[in-house]
Amino acid sequence: MKQHPLCTDTEHAPNVMEMNVPPGLKQEWAELQTRRHFLGRTGKVLGWAAMASLLGSRAMKGDAHAGANGPYGAQAGGPLKLPHFAPKAKRAIYLFMSGGPSQVDLWDYKPNLAALYDKDIPDSVRGAQQLTGMTSGQARFPVAPSHWAFKRYGETGTFVSDLLPYTGRMVDDLAIIKSTNTEAINHEPAIMLMNTGNMNAGKPCLGSWLAYGLGSMNDNLPTFMVLQSKLNTKENNQPVSSRLWSSGFLSSEYAGVGLRSAGDPVLYLTDPDGVDREVRRTMLDAVNEINRRTYEELGDPETNARIAQYEMAYRMQTSVPELADLSKEPKSTWDLYGPEAKEPGTFAYNCLMARRLAERGVRFTQVYKRGWDMHDNVTGILPIICGETDRGCYALVTDLKQRGLLDDTLVVWAGEFGRTVYSQGGLSKENYGRDHHPRCYTTWMTGGGVRTGITYGETDDYSYNVVKDPVTVRDFNATLLHCLGIDHNKLTYKFQGLDQKLTGPVPASVVPGLLA
Amino acid sequence: MLVDRFLPKSRTTRRKWMAALLLSLALVLLPWVVKLDGKPHAEWEHFLGRFHMLALHLPIGLLLLIPVLEVAGKKRSALREAAGFVLALAFASCLLAMMLGYLLAHGGGDSGPVLTRHMAGGIALTIAALLCLLARPWWAGSDVPHVYPALLTCTLLVLVWTAHQGGTLTHGSNYLTQYMPVGLKRWSGLAETPTTGSFYAKRINPIFDANCVACHGEGKIKGGLRLDSYESLMNGGQDGPVIFAGQPERSLLLTRVTLPPGHKQLMPAEGKPPLSAEQIAWIRAWIQQGASQTAATLAGISLREEQAELPLTPVGDYSALMPEIRQMEQAQGAKVKPVSSKPEDGLILFTVDASSSFGDADLEKLQKFAPYIVEAELGRTAVTNASFDTLKQFTHLRALHLEETRVTGLGLAKLAPLTQLTYLNLSGTQVTAASVAPLSGMKNLRHVYLYNTPAEPAPGTEPAQPAARSAP
């Protein structure tokens, strides 16, 4: 067998006759190698070969699209014919609030809870909901009313917590979903479910599906970019791993490309001293040639992905510095985003960056903000994290709107679950903790395709169960895809014998009430 | 003697007439004996009554068939024989449908003028069909040639009238005319008077009109409640007032529309779609804030009119041009991509890859594809005012991005032929209030963005242009 050119292992195949095994086994081996045996096996091989050619290459490869679409994904003209219908939004920005923001303290206004302070929530409300190990042993589940007051904002008079004064100013432009609910109760499965439609790792995330389905609008930047915000060590930061922007079984070209929050936005992107752009080009040409030959020999589509990534990195050597250069931003930008936005890696900076990526035709930008996981000391931590994120969210939506980008950009704000109305640990008038709560949590979206100025869904008096218009994670994702012109049932990829899709095998439906 | 001919000849015929007379009398007296008092009665009546909807179509079909059979029977006598049989059947089905209808109204506790008219029509129709049945033998025997045709004509007229009353009961009085072309409406005098400006007229009354008045209106007055006018709404029904101004919790109307799905008392009843959350919110806020007939706005509720999107005009099929487009993409670096899998949705021009080098000359090279391009992203390119001469040929253009280019707006008037254009982004350019003035003549151009330009309206003033609309 011919060796792979990059493989240094040059051993020959083992010969049984030279091995240190009992002579009886050698005899048995020799007898197996009879002429009849040889002819029989040859016949079978020929049969399989004939069948393979009869069935055609598609049947054997499992999926004919794999890696065959180049940088343009499967968009119209390609085999998947995307978008399926004229989209309202061409790109999306997803502000991911990792850890599970408390809907009780931010959005889901329940003034009646004040009277129920320290009373146990009724078993009839709690129902059969499984609790996490952190509170399942608690003897009591005392109601912890929100420490903060709520005010009406905007023409719609929507109640928003005093913790989000900036967000409050733009409620008329949002579709607030109070009835989002998930099946997962712990961070990793829940965050995987939100991002990939499956609690187990290995499936492509929303951004990868979009990159695969819609392709690039700008070849000089990745189709899907991920911005992580700097950690605040006071907060309880749950890990966020690269599987959340993994392309799963899709070609790795469609994986998200992260920008770092400090130092070089992309590591090793700048040429080292003594290497100029021409040298870099010559080197890349040579590497590409080797890769091309490897592809011809082995036919692994991932080799093409590798070539494409090298080329993308080369183009990013000029596009990323231009992207990160904020010197030309007018003063009005800093007035809007606040002084924090000048510091790379802050949430406000990432929001500004998300706007710049949208302007530059990046299909999907996901901004992660960790630290919403508040099992104790809600009154100590929640104001801090709201202060870090509130103005950025407002600035981003307002900025997109004034620049005319909100017409065709979808903006989403969501975490992986909500928080319990009952206190985890000790409850006092001054402080309390809240455990994970999957049955209802609040998210919002705005921009292209979204019906704004509405509150969708209702929860019960305890902000514990959805009583009207539930939106499951599947429905949520199906709706996002719809805004981008995609029928979630038709954006599929054949893998392991299934037509895989973002919304999974359980039926999902677009939520018409959220659409413009 | 004429009278002789009318008098029943045989004993059997006489008996038939007697029976018919008795039956007619019973039918006429029915509304006085079993009164429709607007209160629900036995459930079995309601159960059987529901089959009225099923049975009522039989007499309609059969009665309409009779004149056809009679006329066609001139040539083919077999059909005329059949007509007699069909008439008997029609009468039987009339009687059945009428009885079921009566059970429905009595069991369900329905009342109201339209219902009364429908009931009277049903009884009249049954009697008319019976008379037809009795008069037909004279006509067949050519004794009295005109009575039966006249009776049959009357029967059919009664049928049409009764059926219309019934339709009005189930679908509401404006069902047939709701989607009538406006011109025809005006001609027929049905044009709606423009709604007055109050919140009640704009938002609350239309909810009742669409969802409630079929049962709580002029035609049917279930539970004694009418919702077709402000006065009758405030008067309430048999259980007293349904609206308590300022007290949504006490207002029965709100309670009944917010019951859990499947609840027996949930309104709108009987499988009709429930009110939307938004409609309920409007009603609640309206009651909360005084349930006024005249207040124009309510705190917390937006009266923003939904702007209907301009319907998309399909562009031609560009598939044949795709090879040329690919060539152009290779040579120029600009991208022309389909909006969707449907060719009639057109193409989008992306230039972000090549933005700094893409100029007026490059745009001119795209003329061949111009009629298929519905959106042109020219932001941050090197195009200038000269591009307007090329752009005016993009006849299907809906969105045009010129942000942060060197255009100054001189010659924007050349875009006037682009009637499809709804979006124009001039942010970050040097356009002035004077140079964008010609845009005000383009009536479909709803979204004009002038952020960071000399033309940007000062904060706090109302923009003269439809700039930066309030919501996407």
**A87 contacts B339? CB cut-off 8 A:** yes
Q: Is B326 on the interface with A (CB under 8 A)?
A: no
A10-24, A246-260, B435-449, range with the lowest pLDDT? A10-24
Local confidence band at B309 (pLDDT 50, 70, 90 cut-offs): low
Chain B residues 398-437 within an 8 A CB cutoff of chain A: 399, 401, 403, 423, 425, 427
A75-89, B78-92, B253-267, range with the lowest pLDDT? A75-89
**B425 contacts A403? CB cut-off 8 A:** yes
A48-57, A216-225, B22-31, range with the lowest pLDDT? A48-57
Task: Reduce the DSSP state of residue A370 to 3 states and report it.
Answer: coil
What's the confidence (pLDDT) of residue A414? 97
Higher pLDDT, B204 or A244: A244
> Does pLDDT of A291 surpass 70?
yes
CB B248 within 8 A of CB B292: no
Return the percentage of chain A with pLDDT > 90, whole number: 67
Candidate from B276, B278, B340 with C-beta closest to A76: B340
CB A241 within 8 A of CB A370: no
What's the confidence (pLDDT) of residue B185? 67
Question: Which residue from A444, A422, A403 is spatially nearest to A176, judged by alpha carbons?
Answer: A444
**A77 contacts B352? CB cut-off 8 A:** no
Structure tokens at A514: 């959220």
What's the confidence (pLDDT) of residue B125? 94
Contact list in A for residue B301 (CB cut-off 8 A) is 155-157
Nearest CA in chain B to A410: B472
Contact list in B for residue A109 (CB cut-off 8 A) is none
What's the confidence (pLDDT) of residue A59? 57
Q: Is A173 on the interface with B (CB under 8 A)?
A: yes
Q: What is the mean pLDDT of residues B446-470?
A: 65
What's the confidence (pLDDT) of residue B299? 66
Mean pLDDT of chain A: 89
CA distance to partner chain B, nearest, from residue A421 (Å) = 23
> Does pLDDT of B104 surpass 80?
yes
Local confidence band at B357 (pLDDT 50, 70, 90 cut-offs): confident
CA distance to partner chain A, nearest, from residue B239 (Å) = 28
Q: Is A155 on the interface with B (CB under 8 A)?
A: yes
**A83 contacts B339? CB cut-off 8 A:** yes
What's the confidence (pLDDT) of residue A120? 94
What's the confidence (pLDDT) of residue A66? 41
Contact list in B for residue A76 (CB cut-off 8 A) is 337-341
Nearest CA in chain A to B346: A86
Candidate from A402, A407, A485 with C-beta closest to B451: A402
Chain A residues 440-459 within an 8 A CB cutoff of chain B: 446-448, 450, 452-456, 458
What's the confidence (pLDDT) of residue B196? 60
Local confidence band at B258 (pLDDT 50, 70, 90 cut-offs): confident
Q: What is the mean pLDDT of residues A4-33?
A: 72
Question: Which residue from B224, B258, B112 is spatially nearest to B172, judged by alpha carbons?
Answer: B112
Candidate from A82, A330, A408 with C-beta closest to B452: A330
Q: Please give the Cα distance from A122 to A130 (Å, whole number).
A: 15
CA distance to partner chain B, nearest, from residue A188 (Å) = 34
**B447 contacts A404? CB cut-off 8 A:** yes
A56-70, A153-167, B144-158, B274-288, range with the lowest pLDDT? A56-70
Nearest CA in chain A to B339: A86
Chain A residues 372-411 within an 8 A CB cutoff of chain B: 401-404, 406-408
What's the confidence (pLDDT) of residue B461? 46
> Does pLDDT of B148 surpass 50?
yes
Local confidence band at A455 (pLDDT 50, 70, 90 cut-offs): very high
Return the percentage of chain B with pLDDT > 70, whole number: 88
Which site among A88, A155, A171 would you substitute to test the B interface, given the most B Cβ atoms closer than 10 Å to its Cβ?
A: A155
CB B304 within 8 A of CB A155: yes
What's the confidence (pLDDT) of residue B5? 55
> Does pLDDT of B150 surpass 70?
yes
**B312 contacts A86? CB cut-off 8 A:** yes
> Does pLDDT of A481 surpass 60?
yes
Nearest CA in chain B to A315: B353
Candidate from A85, A404, A469 with C-beta closest to B425: A404
Local confidence band at A80 (pLDDT 50, 70, 90 cut-offs): low
What's the confidence (pLDDT) of residue B277? 75
What's the confidence (pLDDT) of residue A2? 53
Return the percentage of chain B with pLDDT > 90, whole number: 29
Mean pLDDT of chain B: 83
> Does pLDDT of B289 surpass 70?
yes
Residue type, B381: T
Local confidence band at A71 (pLDDT 50, 70, 90 cut-offs): very low
Local confidence band at A148 (pLDDT 50, 70, 90 cut-offs): very high
**A359 contacts B472? CB cut-off 8 A:** no
Q: Please give the Cα distance from A417 to A292 (Å, whole number).
A: 45
Boundaries of every domain in chain B: 2-171, 193-296, 319-449
Task: Extract the runs of DSSP E, i.e. beta strands, from A113-215.
Answer: 150-153, 158-161, 175-181
> Does pLDDT of B317 surpass 80?
yes
Q: What is the mean pLDDT of residues A15-43?
A: 80
A125-139, A162-176, B195-209, B414-428, range with the lowest pLDDT? B195-209
Q: What is the mean pLDDT of residues B88-92?
A: 94
- From the number of C-beta atoms within 10 Å of its C-beta (0-12, 13-18, 19+), residue A51 rates as exposed
What is the second-level CATH architecture of the domain B319-449? Alpha-Beta Horseshoe (3.80)
Higher pLDDT, B5 or A190: A190
> Does pLDDT of B337 surpass 70?
yes
Q: Is B330 on the interface with A (CB under 8 A)?
A: no
CA distance to partner chain B, nearest, from residue A67 (Å) = 20
CA distance to partner chain B, nearest, from residue A153 (Å) = 8
Structure tokens at A125: 């409300």
β-partners of residue A159 are: A152
Q: Is B350 on the interface with A (CB under 8 A)?
A: yes
> Does pLDDT of B281 surpass 70?
yes
Structure tokens at B271: 């499988």
> Does pLDDT of B107 surpass 80?
yes
Q: What is the mean pLDDT of residues B353-380?
A: 89
Residue type, B209: D
A201-205, A510-514, B43-47, range with the lowest pLDDT? B43-47
What's the confidence (pLDDT) of residue A58? 59
Which site among A323, A405, A466, A467 would you substitute to test the B interface, given the most B Cβ atoms closer than 10 Å to its Cβ?
A: A405
What's the confidence (pLDDT) of residue A484? 96
> Does pLDDT of B1 surpass 50?
no
> Does pLDDT of A90 surpass 90?
yes
CB B87 within 8 A of CB B66: yes
What's the confidence (pLDDT) of residue A151? 93
Distance of CA B10 to the CA centre of its chain: 58
Q: Please give the Cα distance from A178 to A471 (Å, whole number).
A: 9
- Provide the pairing of β-strand B373-377 with B399-401: parallel
Q: What global pTM score does this model have? A: 0.67
B222-231 pLDDT, tens digit per residue, is 888 888 888 8
Q: What is the mean pLDDT of residues A74-78?
A: 45
What's the confidence (pLDDT) of residue A444? 97
Local confidence band at A60 (pLDDT 50, 70, 90 cut-offs): low
Q: What is the mean pLDDT of residues B114-126?
A: 92
CA distance to partner chain A, nearest, from residue B215 (Å) = 26
CB A1 within 8 A of CB A13: yes
β-partners of residue A434 are: A423
Q: What is the mean pLDDT of residues B76-98?
A: 91
A114-118, A297-301, A431-435, B19-23, range with the lowest pLDDT? A297-301
Contact list in B for residue A450 (CB cut-off 8 A) is 472
B382-408 pLDDT, tens digit per residue, is 999 999 999 999 999 999 999 999 999
Q: How many helices (H) and strands (E) does chain B have?
A: 18, 6
Contact list in A for residue B377 (CB cut-off 8 A) is 361
What's the confidence (pLDDT) of residue A13? 67
**A84 contacts B341? CB cut-off 8 A:** yes
> Does pLDDT of B462 surpass 60?
no
Higher pLDDT, B235 or B128: B128
- From the number of C-beta atoms within 10 Å of its C-beta (0-12, 13-18, 19+), residue A225 rates as buried
Contact list in A for residue B276 (CB cut-off 8 A) is 513
Candidate from A83, A157, A220 with C-beta closest to B300: A157
What's the confidence (pLDDT) of residue B240? 81
What's the confidence (pLDDT) of residue B466? 40
Residue whose tokens read 């924007």: B412
Question: Which residue from B11, B20, B10 is spatially nearest to B151, judged by alpha carbons?
Answer: B20
Structure tokens at B83: 């007509």
Contact list in A for residue B468 (CB cut-off 8 A) is 401-402, 404
